Amino acid sequence: MLTQRPRGTADLLPGEVESWRRLEDTFREVCRTYHYQEIRTPIFEHTELFARGVGETTDIVEKEMYTFEDHGERSLTLRPEGTAGVVRAFVENKLYGNPDLTKLFYIGPMFRYEKPQKGRWRQFHQYGVEVLGSEAPDVDAEVIALGATFLERLGLGRVQLEMNSVGCAECRPRHREAMVAALRPVADRLCADCQSRLERNPLRIFDCKNESCQALLREVNAPTVLDCLCDACAEHFDAVKRLLQETGVSYTVNPRLVRGLDYYTRTAWEFIVPGYSTVAGGGRYNGLVAEVGGPETPGVGFAGGLERALLVLQEQGIHPAQKSALAVYIAVADDTAATTAARLLQQVREAGISADRDYQNKGLKAQFKAADRLGARFVLVLGENEVAAGTVSVKDLTTGEQVAVAQDQLVSYLSTRV
């Protein structure tokens, strides 16, 4: 019986990987221009990190984590998102001792147990940035602008930025009290999950995917956090909006936007393409570092899914990258040229020119067809006569021109033309 890949995972094959690499390279380049440094954290962490950091009342922690015990009976979890691990690394490695801002980015696989569907996988890949060490609204605006720049560089069309403020430890209790007062009389009409959230974290009800719960929120005119913001949070949100206007980043305020993670405070946002839902999102998390055992340190960041971005690009008719073409193909006419072909192939490759040859004993005609399939620019023909003369026959497949080149001049000849 054929062993198949696990449900909700995908094989990235040649011809697809090039598009992935283009997205990754674009993100790295944008991060470089914003002076962010790359960090790589473990794929699995202690389960407690996500329970404390992401939030026990979130769908991620309650329903979607891949959790297991190791041989030492320690509970470990495949990372479902990137921020908690980055913050743990920030604390454990004492990066808070850095006198400057800590500005980090990451790219890597994440894991959530959910129903596989278009653009949503159980193993998915996420890119993201985190800035630790400043409460300034300027940093919120910079992180949002970085995300907008990346999506623009990809060529994504119709991207909309929605923003909200989800308050802080001072104003969130006021909102909690108002939410409970509005919903408790109709609590029996909430789904089972939201009935539990009403007592533990009513803000999470705004994130419920059940349309009947969303309709009930509209029916009772449930208060939003924007209705309850303290002066400091209101001033911070106004400053972020002014800074985005100054830098030319368009946005819409969505008072019901709360994101799916408990650690957010103050600014929260999503980049949305109509018809495709969210392609990236983030927010500020001023209490997360302390929550995982570090000193009080403000933070802000965002993340997006590579699969989701690729899906939208493809459906918008945008192809992020083409299959990489081959520069040189060496066609061997007979066995006497095999040793010379191996030497020249290595020399060409060491010069940084992509090159390949036949290893299946194909005829010369079949080798030319292979070169054409691989998109080679030049075919180098080697046979008994070329070996004896110390030359190689170089054919340019784009022009049809064919010339004899001395073997010791081959790399120089190709370098000026590739």
Read off the CATH number of the domain in which 74 is found.
3.30.930.10
Same domain, 332 and 390: yes
Same domain, 132 and 255: yes
Same domain, 287 and 368: no
284 phi, psi to nearest 5 deg: -90, 145
Question: Quick check: is 184 in a domain?
Answer: no
Eight-state DSSP code of residue 267: E
Would the pLDDT of 246 be above 90? yes
Q: Percent of the chain beyond pLDDT 70?
A: 98
**Residue of 95, 112, 114, 113 whose CA lies nearest to 104:** 95
* Host H or E run for residue 406: strand 402-406
Q: Which two tokens stand for residue 359?
A: 């290893």
CA distances from 115 to 121, 145, 213, 274 (A): 8, 32, 21, 22
Would the pLDDT of 57 be above 80? no
> Do the beta carbons of residue 382 and residue 333 sit within 8 Å?
yes
**DSSP string of 234-257?**
HHHHHHHHHHHHHHT---EE-TT-
Averaged confidence pLDDT in the chain: 91
Same domain, 258 and 292: yes
Same domain, 125 and 263: yes
Cα–Cα distance for residue pair 183/193, rounded to 1 Å: 14
Q: Tell me, what's the pLDDT at 261?
A: 66
Same domain, 401 and 358: yes
Cα-to-chain-centroid distance, residue 84: 16
Structural domains counted in the chain: 2
- Beta strand extents in 259-334 (DSSP E only): 265-273, 277-284, 299-305, 328-332
Would the pLDDT of 322 be above 70? no
Taken as a whole, the chain contains a residue count of 418
Where is the domain boundary, 282, 315, 348? Answer: 315
Burial zone of 413 (CB within 10 Å; 0-12 exposed, 13-18 middle, 19+ buried): middle
**Residue of 298, 301, 318 whose CA lies nearest to 310:** 318
Hey, which of 56-60, 260-264, 277-281 has the most confident mean pLDDT? 277-281
Cα–Cα distance for residue pair 230/286, rounded to 1 Å: 16
Would the pLDDT of 309 be above 70? yes
Q: Tell me, what's the pLDDT at 323?
A: 65
Same domain, 52 and 142: yes
Look at strands 355-357 and 252-253 and give their pairing.
Answer: unpaired
Same domain, 156 and 244: yes
Would the pLDDT of 404 be above 80? yes
Cα–Cα distance for residue pair 332/338, rounded to 1 Å: 7
Across 3-17, 292-306, 319-333, 400-414, least confident range: 319-333
Residue 361 is part of which domain span? 328-415
Same domain, 310 and 338: no
